[in-house]
Amino acid sequence: MHSVTIYHNPACGTSRNTLELIRNSGIEPTVIHYLDTPPSREELIKLIADMGITTRALLRKNVEPYETLQLDDDQWNDEQLIDFMLKYPILINRPIVVTELGTKLCRPSEVVLDILPAAQKGTFTKEDGEQVIDANGKRIIK
C-alpha cells in the first residue's frame, strides 16, 4: 500500500488536477485541506526542506495579503516568512504532495507524476482540456 499525502485547496484547479492524477494511479491519498488545517511550523519547515526549495519559493504571490505585507521585500527572513504562512495559510503555494519517492510543489500538476509510486491507469485530461495521459497510461510530452 502506498502512502500519498496532498496539501490541497479544492478551489484551485491545479490542486484538483493533481488530486485526480493521484487517483488515476489507483491511490486514494490523505487529503489535507491546508487552509482549514494548516501545517505546524515544524511540518512546514520539513516540507520546504524535503522539497529542496527556498522558503520564498513556497510563497504564493498573487493573493492577499502578499502585496499588503510587502512580502517581495528582502527584509523578511525565512523565519518571518514562515510566520506569515502560518498566520495566512493562503500564502502557502499548492498543491504539495508527499510520497515515498519525494515531496514536490506540483505546479504544473503533471509534476506529481515524478513522485507517484504507481503508474497511471488510463487517460487523464486536465480541467482545461489538455490531455496529459494517453489511453495506455503514458504521459503525453508536448
Is 57 strand, coil or helix? helix
Is residue 44 within 8 A of residue 85, CB to CB? The reply is yes
Say how far residue 78 (Cα) sits from the centre of its chain. Answer: 19
* End-to-end CA, the chain: 32
Cell (9 digits) for 76: 523578511
**Whole-number Å distance between alpha carbons of 101 and 22:** 13
- Catalytic residue positions, numbered: 12
**Whole-number Å distance between alpha carbons of 107 and 15:** 9
